[in-house]
Structure 1
Amino acid sequence: MKPKIFIDGEHGTTGLQIRALLAERGDLEIISIPAERRKETAARAEFLNAADIAILCLPDDAAKESVSLITNDTTKVIDASTAHRVAEGWAYGFAEMDRDQAKTIASAKRIANPGCWPQGPIATLRPLVTAGLLPADFPITVNGISGYSGGGRPMIEDYVAKGEDASEFLPYGLTLQHKHVPELRAYAKLSHDPIMQPAVGNFAQGMITVVPLQLGGLDHVPSGADLHAAIADHFAAIKGGVVEVAPYAHLERMPEIDPEVYNGTNRMKVYVFANDKRAQALLLAVYDNLGKGASGAAVQNMDLMLGT
C-alpha cells in the first residue's frame, strides 16, 4: 500500500508548494478533506488519524490542536509552524545540521520543520561552535533579505497589488523579538539570544542570510581559511546532503550570490569571506525560503521518515 499523506492547511502558501512538489509522486497517496467538510474539526481528526504522515501547514495554535487530535500511535507528524521547534520530543528537521540528523529524522514520529530564517545561520555557525572556533557566548547578529512569500498570503497579496511600488528593502523584526530566535539559539549552540534583523525584498521567493563576525576579541583568532575548513568538513561528512560549500575566495563581489538563484529547489549554498588583517568575517547562505526554508525541507523530511 502507498503511504497516505495528509497536508493539514494545504491551501496556504507552504501547503500549496508541498502539493505541487508531490503532484507527480506516484509512490504516495495524498488524502484531502472534501471542500464541504474543511471547517469540521471531526473531519480534520479523521484525516489526521488516517494518515501515515501528516504535514501541518498551519498557524501555531491550529498546529497544536491538530497534534492533540491524533489519537493513534502510528501517524507521524511534520509541523511547519513554529509551535514545536524547540519542544521536547520533537526532532528538528534540518537534515544537514549534524552528521546523524538525517537518521534522527528518519526514526522520529514528530518533526519540527525548520523556519526559513534560522537555517542559513545554523548551517554556518553550528560547525564553528562545535569545532571550538567560536565560543557559545559569542555575540551574534543575523541580517539578510527574503522574498515576500515568507510573510504568507497577506504579504503576498500586498506586494502583488503594489507591484513596482512595493518596497525594495523593508526591514522588520525591529522589536528584536523575531519568532525564530529560540530555534536559532538552540540549534546554533549559542548560550545567548542573537540579534536577528531581517528584511523583505520585492521578489516572491528566495533569500540570503548574513552573519558578520568581529573576531578580534577572541583568545585565538581563527583565519577565514580556518572558518571555511570547519564548515566544509562538516558538510563533506554528510552523505546525501543538499548543502554545498562554495570554495574559499577573496572577491569584492560575486554575481552568483543572488537570493533567487535556488528558487524551486531544496538546495543551499554557503560562503565564507574574511579579512584576516581586520579579524573580520562574513558567513553567507543562499537558499529558497519556500524550498529549503519550508516546503522542500518538509518533503525531504517526509522522504527520510518513509525511508525513500
Structure 2
Amino acid sequence: MAYKVFIDGEAGTTGLQIRQRLQDRTDLEMLSIDPARRKDADARAELLNAADAVVLCLPDDAAREAVSLISAPQVKVVDASTAHRVAEGWTYGFAEMSAGQRAAIAGATRVSNPGCYPTGFIALTRPIVEAGLLPRDWPVTVNAISGYSGGGKGLMEEFERPAPDGTNDAYRPYGLTLAHKHVPEMQRYGGFDHPPLFAPSVGRFAQGMIVEVPLQLWALPARPKIADLRAALSQAYAHETFVAVASDLETEALGKARAGAGGYVADLDPEALNGTNSMRLFVFGDDGKGQARLVALLDNLGKGASGAAVQNLNLMLGLDESAGLTR
C-alpha cells in the first residue's frame, strides 16, 4: 500500500526539494492541490485530511492554521516551519540528537523539523554537554554562514539579480538584534541554561552552510582535550548513517585531500555536501593553547531542511529511514 502524502507549500524552496526527493518513490502517493486553490481553506482542508502524512512548508502563522484544519486523527504532520519547534505536544525531528529520539519520532503524529543552524549547533554541542565537558550554564557562542536560499524567495531574488536592483554583497551578517528565531531551539535541545550568542551570516552561494562553536578549553571546569571532544562526538554518532565525525587524521589532512578521496572533503567548503542529507562534524584545536573550534558542515536545504523532513516522514510511516535520501 502506498501512503498518501500532501506537501502544503510545495511551490516554495523547501517544498520543491522535498517533492523532488519523493516523486519517484513507489511506496508513496503524492497529493497535489490545484494551484488556483492554494489559498482556498476548504480545498486545503480536504487534502490535509485525506493524506496519511502532511509536510508543511509554510510561514509560521500559515503552518499553525494548517494544523488547525486537520481533524482526521490518523494524519501525521511534519512541520518545516519554526512554529512548533519548542511547542508542547510536538516531537523535535532530529533523529540523531539522542538515543531515544528516533523512536520518539517514529511514534509521533506531530513532528517539528529542526532549523538548519540548530541542526549543526545541537549536533556539535549536545554530546559534549551530556559528557560533562561543557557546562549547561556556559556562555556559548555560535558563528555560522549559510547560502542565500535559507532566506527564502526574497533574498534569493536579491542575490541573483545584478545591482542596482539586486546586490553585489559577497558576505552579509544578520540577526544583529540577537533575537533570531532559531535561538530557543538551540538553547533547549543543545541543553543550555542560557541562550547562546548566535552570529549568523549569508554568503554569495545558493545553498550549503558551516556552523562553528569556538571554545576556550582552558576556561572550562573539565579542562577537556581535543581528543576528549572528538571522542564524545564520535561515540554519539558512531552508528549513524547521515552524521559523521572527521577523524584526527582527516582533520590534519584537511586542505590536502581531494574532494571525495576516502570520503574526505577537500576543505571547509560550505557547498561540499550539497544535495545530500549528510552532516560532517570537525574538531579543530590546539591543546597547548587550550582552544578548540567545533565545526559542522551540511546542506541547509538537505539535512538542514528538506532531507531532514523526508527522513522524519520515513520514520513516522515506518519506512526505510534512508529512502529517497543521498549520503
Counterpart check, 1:187 vs 2:189: yes
1:289-300 matched pairs, under 5 angstroms: 289-300=300-311
CA–CA distance in structure 2, aligned partners of residues 220 and 278 of structure 1: 15
Q: CA deviation at 1:121?
A: 1.0
CA–CA distance in structure 1, aligned partners of residues 49 and 126 of structure 2: 36
Contact 2:93/2:112 (8 A) holds in 1: yes
Q: What are the Cα deviations for residues 150-203 of structure 1, in whole angstroms up to 9, with x where unaligned?
A: 000111111111289521111011111111000000000010000100110100
Q: What are the Cα deviations for residues 125-146 of structure 1, in whole angstroms up to 9, with x where unaligned?
A: 0000001111101111110210
CA–CA distance in structure 1, aligned partners of residues 315 and 220 of structure 2: 39
Match of 1:262 in 2: 273
Match of 1:104 in 2: 104
Contact 2:158/2:167 (8 A) holds in 1: no
1:127-146 matched pairs, under 5 angstroms: 127-146=127-146
TM-score (ref. length: structure 2): 0.91
CA–CA distance in structure 2, aligned partners of residues 186 and 113 of structure 1: 15
SS for the counterpart of 2:58 is coil
Match of 1:15 in 2: 15
Q: CA deviation at 1:8?
A: 0.5
Match of 1:281 in 2: 292
Match of 2:64 in 1: 64
Q: CA deviation at 1:256?
A: 2.5
1:210-225 matched pairs, under 5 angstroms: 210-225=212-227
Amino acid at match of 2:311: Q
CA–CA distance in structure 2, aligned partners of residues 297 and 162 of structure 1: 32
When residues 45 and 113 of structure 1 are mapped into structure 2, their CA distance, relative to the original with a 3 A threshold, is same
Match of 1:86 in 2: 86
Contact 1:56/1:77 (8 A) holds in 2: yes
Amino acid at match of 2:299: D
Q: CA deviation at 1:217?
A: 2.0
Q: CA deviation at 1:99?
A: 1.8
CA–CA distance in structure 2, aligned partners of residues 210 and 252 of structure 1: 19
Q: CA deviation at 1:219?
A: 2.6
Moved over 6 A (4+): none
Amino acid at match of 2:235: D
Amino acid at match of 2:193: S
Number of residues of Structure 1 aligned to a counterpart in Structure 2: 306
CA–CA distance in structure 2, aligned partners of residues 183 and 281 of structure 1: 23
Amino acid at match of 1:166: N
CA–CA distance in structure 2, aligned partners of residues 134 and 104 of structure 1: 26
Contact 1:96/1:241 (8 A) holds in 2: no
Q: CA deviation at 1:220?
A: 2.3
CA–CA distance in structure 2, aligned partners of residues 128 and 180 of structure 1: 20
CA–CA distance in structure 1, aligned partners of residues 253 and 287 of structure 2: 15
CA–CA distance in structure 1, aligned partners of residues 289 and 103 of structure 2: 40
CA–CA distance in structure 1, aligned partners of residues 41 and 14 of structure 2: 21
Amino acid at match of 2:293: L
Match of 1:118 in 2: 118
Q: CA deviation at 1:80?
A: 0.3
CA–CA distance in structure 2, aligned partners of residues 211 and 252 of structure 1: 21
SS for the counterpart of 1:216 is helix
Contact 1:216/1:280 (8 A) holds in 2: yes
Match of 1:305 in 2: 316
Unmatched 5+ stretches in structure 1: none
Amino acid at match of 2:234: A
CA–CA distance in structure 2, aligned partners of residues 218 and 141 of structure 1: 14
Unmatched 5+ stretches in structure 2: 256-265, 320-327
Contact 2:116/2:305 (8 A) holds in 1: yes
CA–CA distance in structure 1, aligned partners of residues 313 and 167 of structure 2: 39
Match of 2:51 in 1: 51
Q: More displaced, 72-81 or 30-39?
A: 30-39
Q: CA deviation at 1:240?
A: 4.5
Q: What are the Cα deviations for residues 187-245 of structure 1, in whole angstroms up to 9, with x where unaligned?
A: 00010000100110100000000100012222320000000000100101xx4431010
Q: More displaced, 194-203 or 161-170?
A: 161-170
Kindly, what percent of the aligned residue pairs are identical? 57
CA–CA distance in structure 2, aligned partners of residues 35 and 59 of structure 1: 18
TM-score (ref. length: structure 1): 0.96
